[in-house]
Chains A and B, each alone.
Chain A
Amino acid sequence: MSLLITMITLGISVIPQADTVRTDGIPVREVSEVVVEASPLDDMARRAGLVEVQRGRTAATIVRDGVTDGRITTTINGMKITAACVDHMDPTSSYVEPENVDRLAYDVSSSDLTYGSGAGGTMNFSLLQPRHARTMADVGFWYDPNGSAVRSRLDINTSVDASAIRVAWVRRRASDYTAGGGVDVAHSGYAHDNVVAAVTTDLDKDQRITIRFLGNLATDVGFPSMLMDTRRAQAGVIGVEWQGAIKGLPVHTRLYSSWVQHIMDDLSRSHEEIRNRLFMPNMTMPMSASTRTVGLYSSVEFSDETSILLLAVDATSLFARASMNMTTLDGESTASMTNVGDVLLSSAAFIPSYDVMLTDDVLWRTTARIDVMDRRLLDDSFASMLSAAAGSSHTQALRMAISADSRLRFTTSTTSSVSVGLSRAERFPTHLEAFGFWMYEPNSNIILVGNPSLQNEVSYACDMFLSLHVSTITMSARLLYGEIHFAIAPWKTLGIENTAAVRNYVNGPTLQRFVTDVQVNAKLNERISIGTTISYVRAWYGQTDNAALIPPRTSTVYTNVQFTAFTARCAVRYVEAQNHISTVLQPENRTASYVTFDVNLLWHPVDGIDILFDGRNLADRRYVDHLSIRDVVAPGRSLTLGLRWSPTL
């Protein structure tokens, strides 16, 4: 049986799974993942066939197959962290710094049930891994004149005997960027610091313990698309992981805790802007939100010659709260509001997964995930207010969700395969969908109210993934048709406030999705390869409406050139106009088509020195990304120059 770890890497290098211990003689569970190397998040996402919802130059939310937020599980080395902001300012991806990440990986199927059961699967960021038998430092500095964006980085690794430690720090600062055509986008600057640290010890041949820490501090992050900016956002993750074997069975256990504290306000906004805005005019409204997540994940694998049974448990507990203070500009009236009133969500899942080789070429995998969740509201006055608004008094519920995925993988040669899968993924409403209140959605100018009596959402999907290697040509294609039943969306109008409609989340009409993704890469010779990617997503609610924030059809043509000390990548990206827009649920504007030219150069003059150039939107095209909230114009030409020094110590 094939023991290969299948990596589908889109024209970029294959990164081995450095953080797994393999015990000799035991079959290894295969994974078919899209893996991308660390690079700026937008680039990483783009290369992985993902896009992001843009709210400025930072804190983008990953979108996959037309779904985002609660439908995608984002983990950091399998650890969950829960966004605190009720206005989507701090998606989980905003707490990982791409420079401090080894890679981003996700399963090619749409429903990877390992850590969650959303329609979009799981995105797992792996933090930098300590390296054994190596002492090294890596210092980097990048500068982009557009917005005076500065990024600096320090990464140190050392090891003693069977232990290794790595600490890395990234600091990013930028002022307002200039959009294509030369107009500054106000409130688009930011200040970010991110630290990751890990210590790992091999207790013996079969056992490894790793302790990981991630700390992220964001101060003064501007959100041109929002009413407010992030004044201070702190997030932390700490976890201990044990990998080993008990009686020859591979065991993997992880215990972690993560927390987020998010403070936002509109103190950087002019009185004129505040006085004239559509929503909550004449008021400043600082807001603070926090979440705390504790989790345990543990798995064990049983295997024989032709099959592997994996049994796992995934338990988490989340506590969340958010509130807002408001003062009129003249200081005469004050008010305060709770947006999330002490929510406690506790869940536990049991995940059996069975792999069997039906023949030498056919692998059949069936995975199930049985989730149980207890959700409750602990703040009585908030519960009373939300129940009255949402017309529901379910402040406590015990729910179950059952998900299953079955797929067949036919391997036609050592490097080509086709897999087909069917999945049912049932997810619980998020704490914001169930218990959030007065969450502002600026793209459509609507106010969102949670609904404590929401039922689970169930996604059904069938997908096909084809991976072909014919001589020097690599091709992958993915097709997916899915339906999300009882799709949670703010369909119900409760009233109109401040010119904004107040909408309540309900289990609404079925959301249908069709996704197609094609990637072709051809190696012309030892030095040059060319490739193209085309992705197209349609998502719609039957006859009722189109889904909002769906990326338009995008085609990219690129070429990679590689010399001994020099690498270049040039890409032309053509994004079509988006005319399939939402007009009912989350009204949005059509966006026009555009073309961008990007060039990426890496020069390695001497050992230990890298000089980088990253040029984006070289034609300085003025365009609006359809996934940019409130049609904020994208950054114009950006020319980042970087220097990396990695002395061998």
Chain B
Amino acid sequence: MKTYAFLPLNAIMIIMVILGSTGCGSDNNTVTPAPTDVLGVTTVDGTTIRLTSGAPLRVGYSAIAVKAQRPDGAKPQKITVRTVMPSHGHGCPVTKPIDGPMYGDTYRCGIIFGMPGSWQLHTTIRYSDSDSVVAVFAVTVDASDLVRNIRVDDERGYVVTMIPPPTWKIGANDVHFYVYQTSDVREYQPVDDCTMEITPWMPSMGHGSVGNIQPTRIEDGLYKGSVNFSMSGAWTITNLISKPYGILTNLTFDVAVP
């Protein structure tokens, strides 16, 4: 049995709680903290699919969780999420979560939205080779400054996103970067051979900081480092990304440290 349920945006609106709602009770027995923003809940052929995120969706990395439940308690074999921005016809990278396993009580992943606007998330829940359900959720993504698209030539482009901690603070802050490449803006492959050199800088005062840890690859396409802010105020983080053949790009992100 294969069911494909396309839920048009207006239909989804009925059953989905749009961004900004506070969560309903999350499961207490989850291994990792459960996302709390419910992006949508739908039932397709008896399978209830619930899509949640840890925070309102915005351009950049968003943590997503998908939970599928059947009355008989069957466990899905595999869940996949595919993204598409209908108005532009392109997708965006779907990654492992930066903070824990993909499979626990819920399936978790990260989505690196490249643009603000309306997106569709196609979730496929596979119970066996012949038994899967698909639900499509329409979501709205807010703007942010966290993603850079680098076009190297007509063939290749890169997507780099900075994943800030929940709040910036004085002191050491973990910072992650995802690097993906694409040739068709539909399929994205992680890039693992980058070297990164981050420099926090306070432009108003012309100084940086000491005690930063340069990002290194920890997962497919994922790099982890740490920036140390010595004072509150407006900072920038510059990331000079190199590939083995030379410099790929030099990106600057603005940061306000409260």
Contact = CB atoms under 8 A, between A and B. Distances in A.
A502 interface: yes
Q: Is the interface of A mostly helix, strand, loop or mixed?
A: mixed
B1 interface: no
Interface in A289-344: 324, 326, 328, 332-338
B233 interface: yes
Number of chain A interface residues as a range: 20 to 34
B211 A280 contact: no
A494 interface: yes
Contacts of A336: 231-233
A406 B162 CA distance: 63
B208 interface: yes
24 contacts: A280-B207, A283-B204, A324-B231, A333-B205, A333-B233, A334-B233, A335-B202, A335-B233, A336-B232, A337-B230, A381-B171, A384-B170, A385-B170, A385-B228, A388-B172, A388-B213, A388-B228, A389-B209, A389-B228, A391-B211, A438-B230, A494-B211, A498-B206, A498-B207
B208 A337 contact: no
A383 interface: yes
A458 B206 CA distance: 39
B67 interface: no
A389 B234 contact: no
B188 interface: no
A387 interface: yes
Contacts of A380: 171
A385 B171 contact: yes
B229 interface: yes
Given A338-B170, A381-B170, A383-B171, A388 B211 contact: yes
A514 to B, nearest CB: 36
A282 interface: yes
A642 interface: no
Contacts of A338: 170, 231
Contacts of B230: 337, 385, 389, 437-438
A324 B207 CA distance: 15
A498 B207 CA distance: 6
Contacts of A281: 206
Contacts of B238: none
Given A326-B231, A336-B232, A336-B233, A497 B211 contact: no
B210 A389 contact: yes
A540 B150 CA distance: 55
A382 B233 contact: no
Interface residues of B, number: 23
- Nearest 6 CB-CB pairs, A to B? A384-B171, A335-B233, A333-B204, A388-B211, A337-B231, A389-B211
A495 interface: yes
A388 B204 contact: no
Given A333-B233, A334-B233, A388 B226 contact: yes
A449 B232 contact: no
B208 A335 contact: no
Interface in B171-226: 171-172, 202, 204-213, 226
A382 B205 contact: no
A271 to B, nearest CB: 16
A27 B243 CA distance: 81
Contacts of B229: 385
A385 to B, nearest CB: 4
A263 B231 CA distance: 19
Given A326-B231, A385-B229, A389-B230, A449 B171 contact: no
B172 A326 contact: no
Nearest to B209: A389
Nearest to A449: B210
Contacts of B122: none
Nearest to A391: B211
B169 interface: yes
A334 B226 CA distance: 24
A390 interface: yes
Residue from B170, B208, B226 having most chain A Cβ neighbours under 10 A: B170
A385 B211 contact: yes
B198 to A, nearest CB: 13
A326 B234 CA distance: 12
B211 to A, nearest CB: 3
Query: Counting chain B CB atoms within 10 Å of each CB, which of A280, A328, A388, A502 scores highest?
Result: A388
B171 A332 contact: no
B206 A382 contact: no
Interface in A217-262: none
Nearest to A504: B210
A497 B228 CA distance: 14
Contacts of B202: 335
A450 to B, nearest CB: 12
A337 B207 contact: no
Best-buried of A381, A382, A385 by chain B (most CB within 10 Å): A385
Given A336-B231, A391-B211, A497-B208, 12 more contacts: A280-B205, A281-B206, A326-B231, A328-B205, A332-B204, A335-B204, A335-B205, A335-B233, A337-B231, A385-B171, A387-B172, A388-B213
Interface string A369-399: 0000000000011111101111100000000
B171 A388 contact: yes
Contacts of B231: 324, 326, 335-338
A266 to B, nearest CB: 14
Given A333-B205, A335-B233, A337-B232, A382 B211 contact: no
